[in-house]
Structures are given as structure tokens and as C-alpha cells.
Structure 1
Amino acid sequence: MYQKGIPHVLTVRSTDRSDSLLRKRQNIENLENMANLTIKEVNLQDLFTLMIDMKLSQDEMKKNQKQFQNTVQTKITALESKLDAKMESVHHHIENEINEVKFEIMQDREKREEQMKILHSRVYMYFDENPMLIMGDLNGRIGDKQDYNPSIDVGDIQKRCSIDNTIDYQKLLIYGKNKTTGKNSWASEIRSIMNKCELINHYNLNSLLGMSCKTFFDLVKRKLTIIAAENWKVECAGMPKLRTYEKIKSDYCQEPTLLKTLSTKFHALLSKLRSGTFPIETEKRRYRQVPA
């Protein structure tokens, strides 16, 4: 009995164990499958959630972008309004400045026209007597037609042309500068002499209009004599006593006066200006490079 039963029992037990292992394997496979499905479901859910979040983010970005655009547009509109107001204020200010300048130009033109009328009358009244010295601001361009500048000489050039020949012939000197050579003109040099002699304090055409060259030379001669005498006294006072006698003379003649007060350039200028119209009194020595 023992021999018959053992194989049977053992066989049965072996079969039961195999079935149990098989079931366990199936259970494990089922669990793995469930786990895989769960993982897939979880992944899909996360992905879906992420997609929803991205969609919401895009909608929010669009909303924020639109809001940002509205904000920027509002600021731009405000800046444009401020800029328009500022530009209007600037244009108004510029317009006022232009009107003021135009008014000043009109007044200056009226004043110049009045001065030109006086100049015409004086020129044609005295040009046969002596050469005249005219000092004043006439734009520095009244003496020669070749100096006409259309950008400056506007409005009264016809009046100026009518006296050009008289001015050139009678050696009138006009305050100004020679624009072609860059050097000072005769009028500027004469003005320097008159400043040195303290004959004028300002350049006013009406106060100096009609002055003849002879009158000018008389004024210069008297004033230069006074200036030279004062300089001579100062030099004598500043020198040693033993050498002071060299500066003391019995008379104070014109030639030493000019040697102390005028340069060769001024001598040449005055000689050219005189041009034989009256006797030599002012210039006493030789000169070179007479201005043309």
C-alpha cells in the first residue's frame, strides 16, 4: 500500500505545484500588464494635463500680449499728444522770433534808406570841394560795384550804384573790410587812426557824414602832437637823470611827432589818401608799399 500510494501522492502534489506556479506567473503577467496600462494611463493623463496647461498658457499669453499692446498704444498716443503740443509751442515761438527779426530788419532798412538819402545829398553837395571821409556802417560795400553781394545787398543797391563813380573818383573811405584779400581796407585803417586819436567813440554814420579829408588831417595832426608830447614827458620821467638831456629839445616839430606815433603803414596810407589834393603837412618821410 505504501508503495502504491507514494507515487500517486507525489504525482498529485507535483501537478498542484505546477498549476500554482502557472497561476502565479499569470497573476504576475496580469499585474505587469495592469501596471503597464496604469503607467500608460498615467502618462496619457499627464500629457493631457500638460496640453491643457499649454493651451491655457497660450491663451493667457495672447491675452497678456493684447493687454501689453493696448498699454503700449496708450503710451504712444500720450507721447504723440505731448509731442504735438510741444511742436506747436516751438512753432509758435519760432514764428514770433521770425516776426521780431522781420520787424527789426524793416526798421533797419528804413534807417539805412534815410541814411542813404543824407549820404546822397552830402556827396553831391560837397564832392567838388574836397575829398570826403565817410565813416559808418554801410554794410562795407558802398564803394565798389564789384563788391555787390546779392545775398546781402538787397533793396537799396540801385541807390548805391548811382554814387559809385563819385566815391571812386573822390577817394571816399567807407568803414568795412576788403573781403577779397582778407586785409583791412582803407576805412578800417583810418578808423584805427581815429581810435588812436580818440576822435570817435562809436561808428555812427550821421555824426561823421560829410567830414572832409582836410578836416580829418587837422584833427589827426593836433591829436598826434598832444599824444607824442605826453609820451615824450613819460619817457623823460622814466629815464636816468644823466641821460634825460638827450630827450630835451628847444622845439617839438611835426616830424618827430609822426616818428613816434605813426607806423610806415599809416604814413603810406595818409600819403595815398592825400593824392596831391593839398600841401604835404602830415607825412614827412619816405614810404613803401603804398596800398592800392
Structure 2
Amino acid sequence: MSEIRIEGKGELYPLWISRILVTAVSPEWALTGARAASGFGNKKGVEAGVDIRPDSTIDNRPGVIMMICAPNKKLLENELARRIFQSLLPCPTVSVYDAMIKDPNVKKLEIGKAISLFGDGFQKKGMFNEREVWSIPTMEGNMLVESTFGIIEGVSTNIIIIGKKDVALKAGMEFTEVIQDTEGVICPFSGGMTKFIIKLDSLKYDFMKKKGTIDHRFCPDLKAKVKDTEMLPDTAAYQIVVDSIDVINLFQALNRGIEEIKDMKGVLKITATTFEGKLGPEKYDLTEIL
């Protein structure tokens, strides 16, 4: 068994989340649409990514559920409309539906009508399998977009995996793969993880203190220059940002990910980080959720 350390206090960051069902003529086109709408996994505080492939869909076609997350409702509303219009409306064979319709805690946003205006008066409002949708004409036939999309208040956190240089990347990949098999959870960065974590400060540039800079403590090549480093020789670290529709779902996903890699030889430490309450008001002890 690996002598791994699992420790650290993490923060829970509040997010507003929407889940969208993207259907198409094939699984490949559904995934293409969802990935296009995800765009940059993280951009200006908005995070997005593919959630799951459901067993069945409203129109009996292959589908993918994706999540879009933002720090406030207004920003999420704008991003929902923009990503559906710019990425999913043009995508061949795609239709778009709300994937949170069964959740009693959701708030509904009127998104479909604004998208439908692209139909230039030829669009039609109607019912499809007990859902209110807009039918928008395209060059391949009509596209369906649901009238309303649900949003719910969710949470986000981040985990850091430290290990031998030839092991840390593999461990991070296996961790994120298991986590993203949990419904209602995404890891929005490239490949599910990042090669840096920020500190909300700067040692050199005053104008960067509010924007954040690289946390030098986790950079192995700076070991000779940094006294408070977390790194040992020949090691690497990766951060995994995890967004979830609720805390229970989040902790279950983290448990599954840690169980997957905790005995992997060469993994040295799994930890959570805090930003002194600047990003998330609620804290948790990583060891207490295992």
C-alpha cells in the first residue's frame, strides 16, 4: 500500500448551475455539440463541461447532458443563451432541452424565446412530449429548443494531487475519470485538471494581487528559491476543480476519486486548499468526508 497522506481543509464555493440535454442523430454529433458549447472549460468565472450520456432522451435520439456553471444567476442566464445560440443552434442535427426539469428546487429561465427569434417569424411554439418547445427552421429541417431551462444553486471545490513526476499525471487522469462518471458533477478544465493553482496575492506585482498569480509553493522547479514549498525533488502536482449540483453529490464524487488512487504507488499526497474564505464561505476537512 502506498504511504499516501490525505489531509487539508477545503472551501466550498457557491455556483449557479444549469444542466442541458443535447440530442442529435448520432452520439458523435451530440458530443460535438456539447463540447462546442462547453468552449473554454473556464472563462471569466463561467465553467462548463460534459456531464453524462443518459440512457434515454425526450426525442429518443442519442444525447449528452452538459453543465454550465457561473457565480451568479444573471451571468449564467447570459451564458446559457449565448452558448445555445452560438454553439448549439449551428451544430448539425442538434436539438436542446432542459435536463433539470424533475428537480423541485430549480428556478426557471425563459431562454427559448430569445433563441427562436433567429427564425425570423417562421419559428413556432408548441408542445413536444409534454414540454413547451420552440421549433426553429434550419437548412436540414426544424430544430427544437425548450422554452425554459432550470438553474439551481450548487457548489465547487478544488483538490490537489501530488506525486512522483511519472505518476502524478496518471493519478490525476484516473481521479477525474472516476469523478466525472458521477451524475451532476463536472471537472471543467482541460482533461479535467490544471497544472497550476492560484494564490490570491502576488509577491512582485501589486496590480496582480486581486487577479491572482501562480502558487509558487507547488512549483517543483522553484524548490531552491522557495522556503515554504510543498514539493519534493522529482515530483509534480495537479489541481482538479470539481463542480457539483449539491454538496452530497460532490463529497460522494470526491470519495470515489480518492478511493481510486489512494493505493497507487508514487502518489504522495491528496489535499484540499483554502483561500482564507475569499472565494468560499464554507469549509470542510478532507479527512472527514472519506
TM-score, structure 1 length as denominator? 0.24
Q: Which structure is larger by alpha-carbon Rg, 1 or 2? A: 1
- RCO (CA 8 Å, sep 6+): is it higher in 1 or 2? 2
Higher strand share: 2
TM-score, structure 2 length as denominator? 0.25
